[in-house]
Amino acid sequence: MANVLVFIDNPGASLKKAHLELLTLARTLGSSTVAVNGDLTEAATATLAEYGATAVLRPSSADLDDFLVAPKAAFLAAAVESAGAGIVLLDNSPEGKEIAARLGIRLNAGVITDVVAVDPDGTAHKSVLAGSYNTTCKATTPVTVLTVKANNVTPEPAPAAAPAVSTVEVPADAAATAARITGREQKVASGRPDLTDARIVVAGGRGLDGDFGPVEELADALGAAVGASRAATDAGWISHDAQVGQTGKTVSPQLYISAGISGAIQQKAGMQTSKVIVAINKDADSPVFEIADFGIVGDLFDVLPQATAEIKKRKG
């Protein structure tokens, strides 16, 4: 069994589900040390213990967030050495992948992204080419860096003693701190779950004709995140953050409801690994029905409000 290092960046008041998935996966691979950047609350530390983390490593400098991601990779490289880790797990966000790439360079380690499962020997499984193939790969280097897609592991606690917290020295690196962040603006919170973590995603496309209201109402009835096709984000109907697909976010929820989206290959690339896909489209020949588990041929402006009303009724 390997020593596994899990990276958690800015956990906030409580850990995200994606973090709990990484901690659960880590336990199947060996003993888990967690490298945490940013504030670490008592509640978050208690959750780390609840999910079996045996040690927590903190960076010596508190200003890693003042720069782009390079210093985080420097911190992780030092943490890998301190923990004697053979496997590093990160989330599969664009930032997680960039940190993984930079860490791979620093450690001369194999990097595997978009991982959906990991065997106890470190063999990684990926779903590729818009979910048409599953591939299996294993790094041949002493350290393996894996970025793991959310919603592929069921979080399970395994309470352990409170983990020992220690500090690792982040090496001074002029190149890593060359780009300083000069301003930040908080996005207005939607109150909906994060698109990449959400268990349910309701996504809309050009068929909405500029009106995301029916999609948002269904999403809120289900406690879901809202996604979109590129046609909808390019038209400015919804922010680019909501784009799902090859050049947008990759999601893998339990349920993906697609409304007024044709199902182009670039859209499929971001959602085809969803567990259950429900498509609503008025064109029975739309390619989205090729990958849908359930299809409704109809006008989304009729179908979505009925679904929302029925869900609200059943929820009471």
Q: Given the rule CB under 6 A, which residues bind ligand FAD?
A: 205-207, 229-232, 243-248, 260-262, 264, 266-267, 270, 280-283, 286, 299-301
Burial class of 285 by CB neighbour count within 10 A (0 to 12, 13 to 18, 19+): exposed
| Nearest approach, Cβ of residue 195 and ligand FAD (Å) | 13
Which of these, 53, 51, 75, lies nearest to 62 by C-alpha position? 75
Enumerate the H helices of the chain as residue ranges. Answer: 17-29, 42-50, 70-83, 94-107, 213-222, 230-234, 265-268, 288-291, 300-315
Q: What is the DSSP letter of 58?
A: E
| Nearest approach, Cβ of residue 155 and ligand FAD (Å) | 28
Identity of the residue numbered 295: G
Identity of the residue numbered 144: T
For ligand FAD, the closer of residues 163 and 295 by Cβ is 295
Tokens of 301: 């402006």
For ligand FAD, the closer of residues 45 and 262 by Cβ is 262
| Nearest approach, Cβ of residue 228 and ligand FAD (Å) | 7
Place of tokens 């268990």: 199
| Nearest approach, Cβ of residue 300 and ligand FAD (Å) | 4
**Residue 309 neighbours by CB under 8 Å, 6+ apart:** none
Q: State the Cα–Cα distance between residues 95 and 92, nearest whole angstrom.
A: 8
| Nearest approach, Cβ of residue 237 and ligand FAD (Å) | 10
Tokens of 192: 């909906």
| Nearest approach, Cβ of residue 299 and ligand FAD (Å) | 4
For ligand FAD, the closer of residues 29 and 303 by Cβ is 303
| Nearest approach, Cβ of residue 161 and ligand FAD (Å) | 45
For ligand FAD, the closer of residues 87 and 202 by Cβ is 202
Which of these, 239, 311, 237, lies nearest to 278 by C-alpha position? 311
Tokens of 214: 């029916």
For ligand FAD, the closer of residues 107 and 198 by Cβ is 198
Q: State the Cα–Cα distance between residues 289 and 210, nearest whole angstrom.
A: 23
For ligand FAD, the closer of residues 177 and 229 by Cβ is 229
State the first-to-last Cα distance of the chain, in angstroms, to the nearest integer. 49
Identity of the residue numbered 152: N
For ligand FAD, the closer of residues 120 and 210 by Cβ is 210
3-state secondary structure of 130: coil
Cα distances from 100 to residues 18, 112, 185, in angstroms, run 16, 9, 26
The torsion angles phi and psi of 315, rounded to 5 degrees, stand at -75, -15
Which of these, 243, 226, 245, lies nearest to 235 by C-alpha position? 243
| Nearest approach, Cβ of residue 244 and ligand FAD (Å) | 6
For ligand FAD, the closer of residues 86 and 204 by Cβ is 204
For ligand FAD, the closer of residues 110 and 270 by Cβ is 270
| Nearest approach, Cβ of residue 152 and ligand FAD (Å) | 20
